[in-house]
Amino acid sequence: DNADIGLVGLAVMGQNLALNIADHGYNIAVFNRDPGKTRKFIEEAKQSEPSHARLLPFEDLASFVLSIKRPRKIVLLVKAGSATDVTINALVPFLEQGDIIIDGGNSLWTDTIRREKELRAKGIEFIGSGVSGGETGARFGPSLMPSGTRMAWASLEPIWRDIAAKVDAVTGEPLEGAAPGKPIEGGFSCTEYIGPDGAGHYVKMVHNGIEYIDMQLICEAYWLMKNLLGMEADEIGKVFEEWNQGELSSFLIEITGDILQQKDPVGPGFLVDKILDTAGQKGTGQWTAANALELGAPANAIAAAVYARALSSVKEERVEASKILKGPVIKTESDKQAIIEAIKNALYCSKICAYAQGFQLMDKAQVQYNWKLNFGEIAQIWRGGCIIRARFLQKITDAYALNSRLKNLMLDPYFTQAMNEGQEGWRKVIALAVTNGIPAQGFSAALAYYDGYRSAVLPANLLQGQRDYFGAHTFERVDQPRGKFFHVDWPDPARPQLDV
Ligand code: NBP
């Protein structure tokens, strides 16, 4: 038993996380259902990885488990869903009381709650840990969102802190410079205990929901520059490069600048113009939107991003519809610099709304599922390693440090000022999009949320009237205390109002 930890599932994420763990000086036992993949992984690691001697390959589960020091820590990086259950069930007969299974896959948090409960009944600890950052993150430092019992976390914590992305503890800036076998030391480690049972996977799910809308908003900014201003891909790419120097600085803005400037390797022009416009999805954005509906959290921008992907996927229908359904002729704008600035406002304000919705959703969830989430810490965990890493997350950490009970991000002084300054340009861009028939679902949904949120009065008075009319659902009155309900016999307004 000389392995410090074990890992099951040697696809792209498992291989990279195993190498990251080995780089930090841990002996790691590895196992994959198909042993051919284990052999290939070890062969390749021997060619190029300085830490390959710390990888201990196994082809049967019994000896894999026996090789790990107790209490055993076994990380799963297998396909989410039934494959995870199959893997857990295969492992359990070999485990002993107090051993810990860590699920690093993109599991649905309700599955994690169920698995944690089932395993606890057998004396086995279960940690659901969100892992973000794709293959590079897994290799050089992901953002890790673990949940389970505090005891299990205490056992896993040193390894998780070692392998997570590192950011400067004061400025929050990501610490760069990783190379195989040369991990970064010091700084704030992008992992913190999130809470019990499914909390970690829940937070990872919301991270992905935010990722969906973050990407959608960037796509809309690109599309408006292309269509309203007639800009070529590389010129737009340079705008993103410039934006990446300021408050919008983030991994997604950075890669967008690169993608837009990429020439087509097999012909003239830019590669982005040759990529088919149908988006795929694996479900985590949809889970976020569905849960927001279930909890009654107003996450319409996150939902809009899921719908936008769905609309993109019906390409043939759209091609047909484009020949039949009328829209305006696009009028190219001449005041380029002013429009680019307004698009930047639209992007930043919408992004703030998107995060406000994500954090508002987590706030509802912690009440519903009995968790105690630390929002400042969550923003800091996302500061490095993950796909939505961005400079502006530091502002979210600062906002919650200033007021841990902040109701909505937009009410923090920094974000209030950003919204107040940007809203005029944001409106101008949406007006132009509408007049020219250019879809901008993300920008528009975010603005509808913003305007709804800042409205002291909404037309829900009429809605309550309608509900009382057809269903006797009752209503409250503006001139009476809250909690006092009334009903009238609507078709006959002359009859007296009833206090119910
Ligand atoms: P996949 O999600 O493609 O899963 C492949 C692994 O699952 C292989 O090891 C495969 O074994 C194993 N597996 C399957 Br498929 N069915 C199995 C079964 N019935 N029993 C046992 N093992 C089974 O790999 P991935 O992209 O590396 O992702 C791993 C996990 O990490 C997933 O949950 C994913 O959602 C999550 N994640 C991925 C990313 C990313 O950027 N890719 C980011 C964050 C999280 P085999 O080799 O024998 O077929």
User: pLDDT by residue (tens digit) across 301-313?
Assistant: 999 999 999 999 9
Exactly one of 166, 204, 226, 395 is catalytic; name it: 204
Which residues 6+ apart lie within 8 Å of 390 measured at CB? 248, 249, 250, 251, 252, 253, 382, 383
Residue among 125, 211, 344, 395 flagged as catalytic: 211
- The pLDDT of residue 131: 96
- How far, in Å, is the centroid of ligand 1 from the Cα of 78? 3
- Check residue 173 and give its pLDDT: 85
Domain 460-499 has CATH 3.90.1150.10: no
CA nearest 243: which of 233, 231, 229, 255?
Answer: 255
Q: How far is the CA of 104 from the centre of ligand 1 (A)?
A: 10
Above 90 in pLDDT, residue 497?
A: no
Residues with CB under 6 A from ligand 1: 9-14, 32-34, 37, 77-80, 83, 86-87, 105-106, 131-132, 134-135
493, pLDDT greater than 90: no
Q: What is the pLDDT of residue 177?
A: 58
Residue nearest to atom 40 of ligand 1 (CA): 134
Q: Supply the pLDDT for residue 179.
A: 65
* pLDDT tens by residue, 158-177: 999 999 999 988 888 888 75
CB distance 30 to 60 below 8 Å: no
Mean pLDDT rounded to a whole number for the chain: 95
Q: How far is the CA of 12 from the centre of ligand 1 (A)?
A: 8
Q: Specify the CATH number of the domain 5-197.
A: 3.40.50.720
Q: Is the confidence at residue 293, as pLDDT, over 70?
A: yes
- Residue 44 annotated in active site: no
pLDDT band at 282, cuts 50/70/90? confident
Determine the pLDDT at residue 343.
98
Residues making up the binding site for substrate: 106, 132-134, 207-208, 212, 282, 309, 467, 473
Q: Where are the domains of the chain?
A: 5-197, 202-453, 460-499
Percentage with pLDDT > 70 across the chain: 97
Position 499 pLDDT exceeds 80: no
Does position 280 have pLDDT exceeding 90, yes or no? no
In the prediction, which pLDDT does 336 show? Answer: 96
How far does the centroid of ligand 1 lie from the alpha carbon of residue 155, in Å? Answer: 25
Binding site, annotated residues: 106, 132-134, 207-208, 212, 282, 309, 467, 473
Atom of ligand 1 nearest to the CA of 34: 48
Pocket test for ligand 1, best of 19, 41, 79, 201 (most atoms within 8 A of CB): 79
Q: State the pLDDT confidence band at 114, using cuts at 50, 70 and 90.
A: very high
Ligand 1, atom 15, lies closest to the CA of 79
- What are 337-393's pLDDT values in tens digits? 999 999 999 999 999 999 999 999 999 999 999 999 999 999 999 999 999 999 999
Asked if pLDDT for residue 1 goes beyond 70, the answer is: no
Asked if pLDDT for residue 195 goes beyond 80, the answer is yes
More confident: 102 or 2: 102
Which residue, 65, 63, 78, 61, is CA-closest to 17? 78
3-state SS of the chain is: CCECEEEECCCHHHHHHHHHHHHCCCCEEEECCCHHHHHHHHHHHHHHCCCHHHEEECCCHHHHHHCECCCCEEEECCCCCHHHHHHHHHHHHHCCCCCEEEECCCCCHHHHHHHHHHHHHCCCEEEEEEEECHHHHHHHCCEEEEECCHHHHHHHHHHHHHHCCEECCCCCCECCCCECCECCCCCEECECCCECCCHHHHHHHHHHHHHHHHHHHHHHHHHHHHHHHCCCHHHHHHHHHHHCCCCCCEHHHHHHHHHHHCECCCCCCEHHHHCCCCCCCCCHHHHHHHHHHHHCCCCHHHHHHHHHHHHHHCHHHHHHHHHHCCCCCCCCCCCHHHHHHHHHHHHHHHHHHHHHHHHHHHHHHHHHHCCCCCHHHHHHHCCCCCCCCECCHHHHHHHHHHCCCCCCHHHCHHHHHHHHHHHHHHHHHHHHHHHHCCCCHHHHHHHHHHHHHCCCCCCHHHHHHHHHHHHCCCECCCCCCCCCCEECCCCCCCCCCEEC
What does the block give as tokens for 293? 């509906």
Fold classification of 202-453 is N-(1-d-carboxylethyl)-l-norvaline Dehydrogenase; domain 2 (1.10.1040)
Write the pLDDT tens digit of every residue in 136-161. 999 999 999 999 999 999 999 999 99
With the most atoms of ligand 1 within 8 angstroms of its CB, the residue from 12, 37, 77 to mutate is: 77
CA gap 375, 358 in Å, rounded: 11
Phi-psi region of 446 (alpha: psi -120 to 50; beta: other; left: phi over 0): alpha
Tell me, yes or no, if 211 is annotated catalytic: yes
For ligand 1, atom 17: residue with the closest CA: 83
- Beta-carbon neighbour count of residue 401 at 10 Å? 13
Which residue, judged by its Cα, is nearest atom 43 of ligand 1? 134
221 vs 385, more confident: 221
Q: How far is it, in rounded angstroms, from Cα 230 to Cα 200?
A: 44
The DSSP bridge partners found for residue 129 are: 146
